[in-house]
Amino acid sequence: MPPAADFRQMLRDVSLRVTAPRLAVLSAVHQHPHTDTDSIIGLVRDELGTVSHQAVYDVLRALTTAGLLRRIEPPGSVARYEARVGDNHHHVVCRSCGTIADVDCAVGYAPCLTASEAHGFVIDEAEVVYRGLCPDCSVRS
């Protein structure tokens, strides 16, 4: 994880003011990739004490809009956030416990899958979610 100074620089690079909640959210998501909003609120409160839900929602929205975080929403899961942005990686989701891991883009660039019929669209993204059982769940079943 980048040192705290780098989180400040990241905020400055996208012209966001450096605030304690923004630093805490950035650091929480770097340490816990694919975390949902409630867990992020918990992590931020551990660090800063009282912070309202709304404040954390606002920070998540600002950081996502600025491109510092990516919001993912696998089917059947709540929204989650990660700090790995700027590449076209996919996710593998455990069908049993919901654990999520990163999977590099199969071809290395978006949209990864060529649509069999583009209907005249200029397609720049394919949302790929792999599903199965994680190592823990597959030994238990």
Q: How far is the CB of 86 from Zn ion (least distance, A)?
A: 12
Cβ atoms of residues 62 and 22 within 8 Å: yes
**Cα–Cα distance, 40 to 60 (Å, whole number):** 9
Q: 8 or 89, CB closer to Zn ion? A: 89
**Cα–Cα distance, 37 to 29 (Å, whole number):** 10
Q: 46 or 102, CB closer to Zn ion? A: 102
| Residues near Zn ion (CB under 5 A) | 82, 94, 96-97, 99, 102, 134, 137
Q: 97 or 107, CB closer to Zn ion? A: 97
Q: 97 or 115, CB closer to Zn ion? A: 97
Q: How far is the CB of 38 from Zn ion (least distance, A)?
A: 19
Q: How far is the CB of 119 from Zn ion (least distance, A)?
A: 29
Cβ atoms of residues 137 and 97 within 8 Å: yes
- Coil, helix or strand for 81? strand
Q: How far is the CB of 105 from Zn ion (least distance, A)?
A: 11
Residue 1 is encoded by which pair of tokens? 């994880």
**Cα–Cα distance, 96 to 7 (Å, whole number):** 34
